[in-house]
């Protein structure tokens, strides 16, 4: 079965994480993604250690699988002509240059859409194409500081903390992927593409979710609660006898069953009967549960929660997470294919999307810098030498499963 975006041509003029994440997700879904890099390469190629055997940082490999790479210098007239040829024959263009930065090269949306009306053009910036901050650079860390998410992350008496992954970039990448697919669907109906304006700041604020709603309803900014939930109790970490453990009671029935399994009558106590009561009396209830949990091993606590039908888990390392039976069953760690270049990482993370009627692209490691450049240049120049030839997309080599 073909991947659902088979035949879609994507030109990626993006680096670091948010833009490449869009390109990688589209590539996983079957699109042919050509990544154009400056002669020095995407800077994340050097964001290590750790480095794969090919000398490329693991960071780069995390967001560039299933793509082709060509190194081109926009300041070189011949190279720029090749980029413009690729752009004119692409379905989608992804870029994360500063606002207006591509206009001087004739690679802006206004110029390209006049030549290719069906082009879906996705711009990724820190703050968007307009507004007082539009010209500012915006790395994920800065966006997390500005958007409010760091202020609600961390222990109540500790400093604001960022998550362990660049979530502003990742969320922007996922929203960008959704937007690209929606724009392609609209193009099917109208024949016209569109300009997509994705901002890291917008995306990070857009996923403040219940915390933003809590602010709008109450008029008060939420505060840090560590690993506790602002709206549900008990829904947090506890210390078992041999390590940290998460208990997550999502409703009153689960709490009642937890109480019974622990041999307590907490659910009959008017302070704790309903979730709203438990939130009000959070400190008293958490202290009671913590005292019980402290005497149990994590295995014993997991067995108790399973009997009660209450979600819970010990806090795992990344290594432990990939080593679970469930992760192995779902194939979340994918071995490098036999035809992949030597030196690439031996294992990749599987795209989590599954279809009943489609395959995803067979995972291929991120390409070495300019790995496909000679082949792409040759194809474009052959095309340019043909009389009256329109711009043509250089076809990718056929591999089984793609």
Q: How many CB atoms lie within 10 A of CB 193?
A: 23
Between residues 363 and 69, which one has the greater pLDDT? 69
Q: How many CB atoms lie within 10 A of CB 292?
A: 16
Tens of pLDDT along 208-261? Answer: 999 999 999 999 999 999 999 999 999 999 999 999 999 999 999 999 999 999
Asked if residue 276 is part of any domain, the answer here is: yes
| pLDDT for residue 388 is more than 80 | no
Average pLDDT of the chain is 93
Question: For residue 401, what pLDDT is reported?
Answer: 40
Same-domain check for residues 170 and 251: no
Nearest to 252, CA basis, from 230, 275, 233, 234: 275
The residues carrying an active-site annotation are 169
Asked if residue 138 is part of any domain, the answer here is: yes
Same-domain check for residues 144 and 190: yes
| Residue ranges making up the domain that contains 52 | 9-208+324-385
Same-domain check for residues 331 and 285: no
Same-domain check for residues 260 and 368: no
| pLDDT for residue 301 is more than 50 | yes
> What residue ranges in 62-155 does DSSP mark as E strands?
67-71, 92-95, 120-125
The alpha carbon torsion through 342, 164, 196, 363 (nearest 10 deg) reads 30
Supply the DSSP string of 229-257, one letter for each residue. -SS-SSEEEEEETTEEEEEE--SHHHHHH
Poorest-confidence range of 215-224, 289-298, 384-393?
Answer: 384-393
CB 244 within 8 A of CB 320: no
CATH number for the domain spanning 287: value is 3.30.1540.10
DSSP code, position 104: G
CATH number for the domain spanning 336: value is 3.40.50.10540
Would the pTM of this model clear 0.85, i.e. be above it?
yes
Asked if residue 60 is part of any domain, the answer here is: yes
Asked if residue 351 is part of any domain, the answer here is: yes
Asked if residue 392 is part of any domain, the answer here is: no
Confidence of residue 336 (pLDDT cuts 50, 70, 90): confident
- Phi, psi at 146, each rounded to 5°: -85, -25
* Domain closes at, from 261, 293, 317: 317
What's the domain count of the chain?
Answer: 2
Question: For residue 400, what pLDDT is reported?
Answer: 41
Asked if residue 218 is part of any domain, the answer here is: no
Q: How many CB atoms lie within 10 A of CB 213?
A: 12
CB 31 within 8 A of CB 92: yes
Asked if residue 398 is part of any domain, the answer here is: no
Q: Are strands 333-335 and 347-349 parallel, antiparallel or unpaired?
A: antiparallel
Asked if residue 225 is part of any domain, the answer here is: no
Distances (CA, A) of 4 to 58, 269, 401: 28, 54, 12
* Domain closes at, from 298, 317, 336: 317
Burial of 195 (C-beta count, 10 Å sphere; 0-12/13-18/19+): middle
| pLDDT for residue 188 is more than 50 | yes
Same-domain check for residues 181 and 57: yes
Confidence of residue 386 (pLDDT cuts 50, 70, 90): low
Poorest-confidence range of 11-15, 134-138, 194-198, 231-235?
Answer: 134-138
Same-domain check for residues 60 and 35: yes
Confidence of residue 320 (pLDDT cuts 50, 70, 90): very high
Poorest-confidence range of 5-14, 329-338, 378-387?
Answer: 378-387
Same-domain check for residues 274 and 378: no
Question: For residue 399, what pLDDT is reported?
Answer: 53
Same-domain check for residues 86 and 172: yes
Same-domain check for residues 200 and 254: no
């Amino acid at each position: 079965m073909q991947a659902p975006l088979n035949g879609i041509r994507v030109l990626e003029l993006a680096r670091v994480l948010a833009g490449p994440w869009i390109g990688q997700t589209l590539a996983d879904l079957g699109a042919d993604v050509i990544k154009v890099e400056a002669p020095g390469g995407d800077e994340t190629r050097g964001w290590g250690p750790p480095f794969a055997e090919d000398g490329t940082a693991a960071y780069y490999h995390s967001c560039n699988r299933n793509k082709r790479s060509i190194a081109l210098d926009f300041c070189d007239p011949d190279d720029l002509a090749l980029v413009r040829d690729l752009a004119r024959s692409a379905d989608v263009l992804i870029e994360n240059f500063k606002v207006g930065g591509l206009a001087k090269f004739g690679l802006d949306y206004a110029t390209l859409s006049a030549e290719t009306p069906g082009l879906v053009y996705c711009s990724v910036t820190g703050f968007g194409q307009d507004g007082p901050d539009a010209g500012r650079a915006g790395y994920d860390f800065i966006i997390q500081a500005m958007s409010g998410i760091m202020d609600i992350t961390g222990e109540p008496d500790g400093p604001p903390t960022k998550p362990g992954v660049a979530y502003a970039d990742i969320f922007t990448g996922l929203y960008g992927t959704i937007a690209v697919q929606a724009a392609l669907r609209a193009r099917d109906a109208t024949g016209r593409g569109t300009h997509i304006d994705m901002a890291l700041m917008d995306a990070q604020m857009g996923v403040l979710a219940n915390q933003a709603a809590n602010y709008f309803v109450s008029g008060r900014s939420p505060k840090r609660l560590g690993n506790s939930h602002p709206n549900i109790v008990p829904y947090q970490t506890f210390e078992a006898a041999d390590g940290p453990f998460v208990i997550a009671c999502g409703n009153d029935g689960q709490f009642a069953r937890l109480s019974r399994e622990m041999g307590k009558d907490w659910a009959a106590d008017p302070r704790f009967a309903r979730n709203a009561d438990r939130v009000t009396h959070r400190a008293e209830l958490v202290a009671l549960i913590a005292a019980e949990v402290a005497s149990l091993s994590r295995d014993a606590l997991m067995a108790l929660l399973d009997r009660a039908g209450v979600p819970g888990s010990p806090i795992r390392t990344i290594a432990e997470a990939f080593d679970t039976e469930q992760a192995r069953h779902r194939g979340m760690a994918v071995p490098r294919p036999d035809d992949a270049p030597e030196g690439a990482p031996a294992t990749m993370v599987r795209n989590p999307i599954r279809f009943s009627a489609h395959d995803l692209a067979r995972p291929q490691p991120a390409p070495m810098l300019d790995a496909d450049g000679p082949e792409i240049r040759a194809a474009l120049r052959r095309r340019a030498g043909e009389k009256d030839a329109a711009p043509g997309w250089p076809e990718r080599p056929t591999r089984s499963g793609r």
